């Protein structure tokens, strides 16, 4: 088994040496290595930025849904009875000479 691994590795090294003998292929390999690992905008930076972009897109989608819900709620508040109900339930507002009791679970 060790011999087969050595054969595979040595054949890979031979292939790499053959490719690198061609100066265009060697230049390509060096440039690709530089771009992927060494430069300021390397592969890891691109992947990290892509992950952040996906996260921000999910946040935008969630906020868009919340915005639609709030616009629908705003349209329903236009009626005076709904406005009074929301003021009493959410903000514990009261009419004069009234007491508000809050029940906590």
Find, among 22, 50, 26, 47, the residue nearest to 36 by Cα: 47
Q: What pLDDT is attached to residue 12?
A: 67
The rounded distance, in Å, linking the Cα atoms of 10 and 4 is: 10
How confident is residue 25, by pLDDT bands cut at 50, 70 and 90?
confident
Q: How far is CA 4 from CA 1, 9, 12, 14, in A?
A: 5, 9, 12, 15
User: Please, are residues 76 and 82 in contact by the beta-carbon 8 Å criterion?
Assistant: yes
Helix (H) or strand (E) run with residue 18 in it: helix 2-21
pTM for the predicted model, two decimal places = 0.51
């Amino acid at each position: 088994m060790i011999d087969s691994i050595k054969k595979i590795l040595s054949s890979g090294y031979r292939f790499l040496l053959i490719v690198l003998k061609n100066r265009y292929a060697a230049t390509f390999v060096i440039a690709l290595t530089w771009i992927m690992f060494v430069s300021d905008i390397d592969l890891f930076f691109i992947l990290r930025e892509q992950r952040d972009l996906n996260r921000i897109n999910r946040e935008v989608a969630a906020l868009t849904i919340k915005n639609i819900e709030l616009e629908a709620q705003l349209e329903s508040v236009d009626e005076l009875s709904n406005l009074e109900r929301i003021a009493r339930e959410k903000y514990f507002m009261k009419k004069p000479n009234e007491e508000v009791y809050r029940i906590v679970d």
